[in-house]
Amino acid sequence: MKLTIRSHHTTVFDDFAAHTEKRLLRLERYLPRVDDVVVEVEHEETRSAAHRYAVQVTVHAAGSILRAEERGADPRLALDAAADVLSRQARRHKKRLHDRNQHLNPSKEAAADLANGAAAVVEPNGDEEIEEYLLGKVVRVKHFEAKPMSQEEALAQMDLIGHDFFLFLDAASNEYALLYKRKDGDYGLLAPRRG
């Protein structure tokens, strides 16, 4: 496991690195191979002293990405909370992989249902109220490697990183698509067509 610790507006001490490695080594029980772990610690002047430190942990493990961000009065407390979140995500991921491997040969009916469910695209609700447009600026750019994946894999990745949306390269169409969580709890897929 390659551990990288970055700090913004604060300094981290050597015991933090040892504490981080000790807490995150536990993830190897659930994940097949932890390749790279990036821990970002940021100090912010907030009203609440209990939320002064933000710790974001990104784990790259055998092609999967897990991410957690937590806040605390101390960087170690925020890291402990993020490690707990990552442990839950890793357990779910391991269970999902196990379940997928157990059902490699589904029955014909189950395969047909899966194919029909995967082909259904949920359209975004067009009658939502239009909110006032606020001008802003791009303050952060993230680059990521886009490998082709199925919609089910994209849904699993979105769940692992804890976002409400996920941009991916659809293996079926070889085009980019955006998976998003709807307010009703279901998911939608935006698949642009070239004009």
Q: Is the pLDDT of residue 183 over 80?
A: yes
- pLDDT tens by residue, 9-50: 888 777 898 999 999 988 888 887 888 999 999 998 888 888
Q: What is the CATH number of the domain that holds 33?
A: 3.30.160.100
In a domain, 111, yes or no: no
**Strand order from edge to edge, sheet including 165-170:** 148-149, 165-170, 175-181, 187-190
The span from the CA of 98 to the CA of 130, in Å, is 43
- Residue 51 Cα distances to 41, 54, 70, 81, angstroms: 12, 7, 9, 12
3-state secondary structure the chain: CEEEEEEECCCCCHHHHHHHHHHHHHHHHCCCCEEEEEEEEEECCCCCHHHCEEEEEEEEECCEEEEEEEEECCHHHHHHHHHHHHHHHHHHHHHHHHHHHHCCCCCHHHHHHHHHHHHCCCCCCCCCCCCCCCCCCCCCCCCCCCCEECHHHHHHHHHHHCCCEEEEEECCCCEEEEEEECCCCCEEEECCCCC
Q: Which of 64, 82, 100 is the last residue of a domain?
A: 100
Q: Is the pLDDT of residue 72 over 80?
A: yes
pLDDT given for residue 98 in this prediction: 75
pLDDT given for residue 106 in this prediction: 52
Mean pLDDT of the chain: 80
Any idea what the Cα angle at residue 124 is, between residues 122 and 125, rounded to 5°?
Answer: 120
% of the chain beyond a pLDDT of 70 = 82
Q: Is 94 in the same domain as 152?
A: no
- pLDDT tens by residue, 76-122: 999 999 999 999 988 888 887 777 777 654 554 454 444 444 433 33
Q: Where is pLDDT greater, at 25 or 133?
A: 25
Of 56-70, 100-114, 131-145, where does mean pLDDT reach its minimum?
Answer: 100-114
Contact 39, 6 (CB under 8 A): yes
Which domain, by its residues, includes 38?
Answer: 2-100
In the predicted model, what is the mean pLDDT of residues 164-177?
92
- Residue 160 Cα distances to 66, 72, 140, 165, 166, angstroms: 5, 22, 21, 11, 11
Please count the structural domains in the chain: 2
pLDDT given for residue 27 in this prediction: 87
Q: Which of 100, 129, 162 is the last residue of a domain?
A: 100
Q: Is 85 in the same domain as 155?
A: no
Q: Is 151 in the same domain as 93?
A: no
pLDDT given for residue 92 in this prediction: 86
pLDDT given for residue 86 in this prediction: 92
